Structure 1
Amino acid sequence: MNPPKEFDVIVVKDVRIPSSSPAVSLAADIYMPLVTKPCPAVVTMHSVRKDAMAGMGVRRFLRYFAKRGYASLLVDTRGTGSSDGEAVPLLSPSEGEDGAAVVEWIADQSWCDGAVGMWGSSHGGMLTLATASLRPPSLKAVVAMLAATDIERDLIHPAHQRGGIGYFGRFALLDIIFSMMPALRAGDDVDGQRWKARASGFTPLVLDAWRNKAGAPVWRERAVDIGRIEVPTFCVAGWRDVYCDNMIQAYEELSVPKKLLAGPWLHTFVDASPREPVSTAELTCDWWDRWLRDAETDNSADHDEMIYLEGTRPGWYTPRAWPPPDSLVRSYAVMGVDELAPVDERGATGEDEAIAAHQNDSTVGALTGLWTTPTAVFGYPLDQTDDDRRSMAFTSDALAEDLIITGRPVLRLVCGEDTTAVRCVAKLTDVDEAGRSRAIAVGVAGLTPGTRDEVTVTMNSTCYRVARRHRLRLVLADNDFPRLWPVNGPSCLAVASANRLSGAKGHWSRLELPILEESTLRPVAVPRPAKSTGGTSRVKLPAPVWVTSRDHVSGGAAVRIDTTEGAPYESGGEHLLIIDRTMRATVSDRNATSTEIKGSGRASVRTESGDDVIVEARVTVEDDQLRAEGLVEVNGIRVITRHWTA
């Protein structure tokens, strides 16, 4: 096959685009291929600024798409960067409306042939799906990477439980930093008036999340209706990403031409992942070629699903479809106080003569990993044996053969009448021959204390091979710190389990696993990045720090995460934008009301105009209060200080 033709590229900075509101214009950088006739266009929109983190992260994609003949745009969302207006919470209706306005503006330009695609990662992916659900006429195809469609369920208040470090740590710091940071490029805000007005008057989005508790009606207004999407959609999911199950569910609900790439990634750009990097730029461009151009393309070697099998003997495969139609459900009985036993094909049931009970431990959860924080390149599950000991754990005998779990494990939980817990966190783990326990999937469900109704706890999607001689473990608790805010006061989780398996019908808890035969999976090759594609740095940055610790005197536990990121904010530029962040979450098993999450961030940069700028942000979240602070220094002089309390 002949290599695709490549074009020279010019960059046009800070182009003004009308939004869905007459008084608000949005700012865009356009990477324009030097072509002789109108061409298709692709656009991504993001809140972390084209002159900062967004530009640093995606400019290699913008240039790649432009070289392949696509006008490629990066747009600041309203109230961020060089765009006008006030920032709105993630997935507010106006975000999708702005996306639709941008798409139609692009299609109407003389350099565009009328075909527009939209793409994005994280918030950019959310905006892509939200825009597609509004059906702008000129939008022809989309690509959503590691994105959410329900921001309450998957980030702010996971599974509709009060959230912890994910949103109220990393995101809160970045929002304050980039909202208060002046323009870094000389032409983006010449007199500084936009920056001064915004930094002096904005309200951090974390306050909106604090005030709108789990289950508040406003969250339903900020969810994407996937069923309304009518254009071909390419979904990219990471098995260890905070939005993993959201992306998989979105793919399953689509009734349009679609494609799925699911790999072992945390919340990062897939092409820069330390594990199994894949050239998503190449796959995305192939998607644009297929749906945005008039010319016929050869899709004979294309695969609708490319899935990475985690666990023992990992690798890339393509199933016959997703969810795999070949899956068989294998049931395991929750037995006695610590056993997990397979139910044979004759459908034997259990007698509910056993009740296993466990008192809550607020410190449980940190060893499952940082997939919900989220971090980009570290935070995969640790050995969580210590957490298992502090929870209710049911373990199987050693497996006689490999077991490939593909889909969503489901726990049919029957609680004993002594249950006072208001939720159940269920984790499926892989216990190796050395006794180490690593999380495969996690699910959460609310409980009604004192009842024996069956509750379904659905875990996140997975594709994972458990090796022969390993064991399965079901771990139950009512806490998952620091992902969820701990439950106050003592509580008990009592589980109805089978005393023995027999032909008698019983009311007992059981685990259902979707199992796939390896013969139904075909190996598939994925395109690899030609070289490292992450941002380059001209200074040696400190290594990240991730510490989990216990105070055996106070009964407390703590998680500390330190990260430093740095890269030129302009392609080929001289000056680095360096962002340091520290997050610390502490909890006591003896007094959950003392739980605290503290985050601090510091961005330092020299602007194109020659100013040395420092922006600092701090957030403290306690059981009943949130405090935040932001400040800006220019050339060593503090020019803005803001404080917020909720």
Structure 2
Amino acid sequence: MSVADSFPYKVREIENVFIPMRDGAQLAARVWLPEEAERTPLPAIMEYIPYRKRDITRGRDATNHAYLAGHGYVCVRVDMRGSGDSDGVLTDEYTQQEQEDGVDAIAWLAEQPWCDGNVGMMGISWGGFNSLQVAAKQPPALKAIISICSSDDLYADNMHYMGGCLLGDNLSEATVMFAFNTLPPDPQIVGNRWRDMWFDRMENSGLWLEQWVEHQRRSAYWSTSSINENYSAIQCPVYAIGGWADGFTNTVLRLMEHLEVPRKGLIGPWGHKYPHQGIPGPAIGFLQEALRWWDYWLKGKDTGIMDEPMLRAWEQDSVPPDTSYKERPGRWIGEVGWPSKNVKERRYELGPYTIHMGEGHGGPISTKGGRAPWRCSPRSALGWRPASGAPMQPRRTYRATSARRMAAR
């Protein structure tokens, strides 16, 4: 990955500004301000997540936002209510309060003297989720979004349940957020009230896992913030990006099919990563691609991005199975629309060690069934009890790894 060290715009960083909300609370934000914007207002781009701008995502923020700011955008990285140095307590994911705060933050940005009134929103994972959700609230100043590794269906295609089954990520996500929510704000930013803010969070954030396992079926708890309930609520252009090794790939295809606004989709070989850091590779110049999108929709420049295929995807070659890959060989393909007219259904029949295309070629395949040789017995202190007189075997231990964590290796 190459590193840019010179940019068209000189940028001044503002470590913290407070953005007022409608109820009097304040959200903490770090700003990358092109000096030109203080004379000639420029568009703003907001990333809005709970991962603490002063430490957890600081390095990533400095890469992404500095690049875009250096090309003429005011970039603003906002700590959500209850996270980092912002007021309040964070009690769950994707709440209505979170979305209303996002609308208020966009309105504030559009009114600043250094902003020309045009705002974009982008983010990965949580920031990709709420980019879609805030867009569905239709804030007037929001002109376009980039949503990366996100979901439009919080129940059926998220990290909590899939196919009605409880996922391991349900526990890992709750554990991660419990850890983040118990971290204090920075006294250098919030002053002497840091201790009261910290205790408030520890006492009132709650155990998120408890409420997630209490909602095991599709209900209003999940659907209220799921974009698939009303795709037409989104009225601004959308660039949806995912990876084949990520858990949220299906979202890109559904958004291309159901949205009614100008849209583009991109699916690479990578996992839950920004595409310029994509693993498995090949990675791409994502920041350059994002700049083309923002120049088109926020500055009105004809970058040619909307003349290209609606959906681009990395068609992966077959490779031997492995637990992780540094690279996935293949090639880029494009589709002018989705669902594609180039996709057709075919019938394949299984044969002995073969797969046949068409009917009548496979022939019969015999399978051997019967009673399972092992069953789990709580009365067996040694482990597995034989089902039919077989000798006792020592306990077998299996280790599970979440799909997202595996893909990110």
2:150 corresponding residue in structure 1: 147
1:126 to 129, 134, 154: 129
Q: After the TM superposition, which residues 259-270 of structure 1 pair with which residues of structure 2 at under 5 Å, given as runs?
A: 259-270=264-275
Q: After the TM superposition, which residues 35-74 of structure 1 pair with which residues of structure 2 at under 5 Å, given as runs?
A: 35=36, 36-74=39-77
Cα pair distance change 1:270/1:298, threshold 3 Å: closer
1:254 to 254, 259, 263: 259
The answer to whether the aligner puts 1:319 opposite 2:335 as a matched pair is yes
1:308 corresponding residue in structure 2: 314
Aligned residue type for 2:340: P
Aligned residue type for 1:287: W
1:6 corresponding residue in structure 2: 8
Q: After the TM superposition, which residues 135-214 of structure 1 pair with which residues of structure 2 at under 5 Å, given as runs?
A: 135-169=138-172, 171-184=173-186, 186-192=188-194, 193-214=196-217
The answer to whether the aligner puts 1:343 opposite 2:358 as a matched pair is yes
Whole-Å separation in 2 of the counterparts to 1:149 and 1:300? 23
The answer to whether the aligner puts 1:18 opposite 2:17 as a matched pair is no
Following TM superposition, by how much is the alpha carbon of 1:211 offset from its aligned partner in structure 2, in angstroms?
A: 1.9
Question: Are the equivalent residues in 1 in contact too, given 2:269–2:314 (CA < 8 A)?
Answer: yes
Following TM superposition, by how much is the alpha carbon of 1:34 offset from its aligned partner in structure 2, in angstroms?
A: 0.6
Aligned residue type for 1:59: A
Following TM superposition, by how much is the alpha carbon of 1:276 offset from its aligned partner in structure 2, in angstroms?
A: 1.1
1:271 to 273, 276, 283: 276
Cα pair distance change 1:59/1:208, threshold 3 Å: farther
SS in 2 for 1:330: coil
More off after superposition, 210-219 vs 135-144: 210-219
Following TM superposition, by how much is the alpha carbon of 1:109 offset from its aligned partner in structure 2, in angstroms?
A: 1.2
SS in 1 for 2:57: helix
Q: After the TM superposition, which residues 213-252 of structure 1 pair with which residues of structure 2 at under 5 Å, given as runs?
A: 213-224=216-227, 225-252=230-257
Whole-Å separation in 2 of the counterparts to 1:159 and 1:323? 23
Question: Are the equivalent residues in 2 in contact too, given 1:189–1:195 (CA < 8 A)?
Answer: no
Aligned residue type for 1:276: P
SS in 2 for 1:30: strand
Aligned residue type for 2:101: D
Q: What are the ranges of 5 or more consecutive residues in structure 1 without an aligned counterpart? A: 364-550, 562-582, 584-646
Following TM superposition, by how much is the alpha carbon of 1:311 offset from its aligned partner in structure 2, in angstroms?
A: 2.1
Whole-Å separation in 2 of the counterparts to 1:48 and 1:262? 25
Question: Are the equivalent residues in 2 in contact too, given 1:154–1:243 (CA < 8 A)?
Answer: yes
Whole-Å separation in 2 of the counterparts to 1:131 and 1:216? 21
Question: Are the equivalent residues in 2 in contact too, given 1:31–1:63 (CA < 8 A)?
Answer: yes
The answer to whether the aligner puts 1:329 opposite 2:348 as a matched pair is no
Cα pair distance change 1:59/1:552, threshold 3 Å: farther
Question: Are the equivalent residues in 1 in contact too, given 2:45–2:120 (CA < 8 A)?
Answer: yes
Cα pair distance change 1:247/1:204, threshold 3 Å: farther
Following TM superposition, by how much is the alpha carbon of 1:74 offset from its aligned partner in structure 2, in angstroms?
A: 0.7
Aligned residue type for 2:152: T
Whole-Å separation in 2 of the counterparts to 1:151 and 1:317? 29
2:288 corresponding residue in structure 1: 282
Whole-Å separation in 2 of the counterparts to 1:358 and 1:55? 57
Deviations 1:563-622 (A, max 9, x none): xxxxxxxxxxxxxxxxxxxx9xxxxxxxxxxxxxxxxxxxxxxxxxxxxxxxxxxxxxxx
Following TM superposition, by how much is the alpha carbon of 1:100 offset from its aligned partner in structure 2, in angstroms?
A: 1.5
Following TM superposition, by how much is the alpha carbon of 1:357 offset from its aligned partner in structure 2, in angstroms?
A: 6.5
Aligned residue type for 2:235: E
Cα pair distance change 1:266/1:5, threshold 3 Å: closer
Deviations 1:522-563 (A, max 9, x none): xxxxxxxxxxxxxxxxxxxxxxxxxxxxx96334422369xx
2:34 corresponding residue in structure 1: 33
Aligned residue type for 1:52: D
Following TM superposition, by how much is the alpha carbon of 1:188 offset from its aligned partner in structure 2, in angstroms?
A: 4.0
Aligned residue type for 1:168: L
Aligned residue type for 1:342: M
Q: After the TM superposition, which residues 87-126 of structure 1 pair with which residues of structure 2 at under 5 Å, given as runs?
A: 87-126=90-129
What's the % identity of the aligned pairs? 23
Whole-Å separation in 2 of the counterparts to 1:44 and 1:143? 10
Cα pair distance change 1:14/1:227, threshold 3 Å: same
Q: After the TM superposition, which residues 556-595 of structure 1 pair with which residues of structure 2 at under 5 Å, given as runs?
A: 556-559=397-400
Aligned residue type for 1:9: V
Question: Are the equivalent residues in 2 in contact too, given 1:132–1:139 (CA < 8 A)?
Answer: yes
Cα pair distance change 1:560/1:137, threshold 3 Å: closer
SS in 1 for 2:138: coil
More off after superposition, 25-34 vs 213-222: 213-222
Question: Are the equivalent residues in 1 in contact too, given 2:89–2:200 (CA < 8 A)?
Answer: no
Cα pair distance change 1:173/1:349, threshold 3 Å: same
Question: Are the equivalent residues in 2 in contact too, given 1:91–1:223 (CA < 8 A)?
Answer: no
Following TM superposition, by how much is the alpha carbon of 1:168 offset from its aligned partner in structure 2, in angstroms?
A: 0.9
Cα pair distance change 1:267/1:120, threshold 3 Å: same
Cα pair distance change 1:216/1:319, threshold 3 Å: closer
Question: Are the equivalent residues in 1 in contact too, given 2:236–2:262 (CA < 8 A)?
Answer: yes
Aligned residue type for 1:165: G
SS in 2 for 1:53: coil
Following TM superposition, by how much is the alpha carbon of 1:180 offset from its aligned partner in structure 2, in angstroms?
A: 0.9
Higher strand share: 1
Whole-Å separation in 1 of the counterparts to 2:143 and 2:203? 40
2:382 corresponding residue in structure 1: none
Cα pair distance change 1:24/1:356, threshold 3 Å: farther
Question: Are the equivalent residues in 1 in contact too, given 2:160–2:166 (CA < 8 A)?
Answer: yes
Whole-Å separation in 2 of the counterparts to 1:101 and 1:5? 31
Following TM superposition, by how much is the alpha carbon of 1:136 offset from its aligned partner in structure 2, in angstroms?
A: 0.9
SS in 1 for 2:113: coil
More off after superposition, 260-269 vs 87-96: 87-96
Question: Are the equivalent residues in 1 in contact too, given 2:154–2:223 (CA < 8 A)?
Answer: no
2:386 corresponding residue in structure 1: none
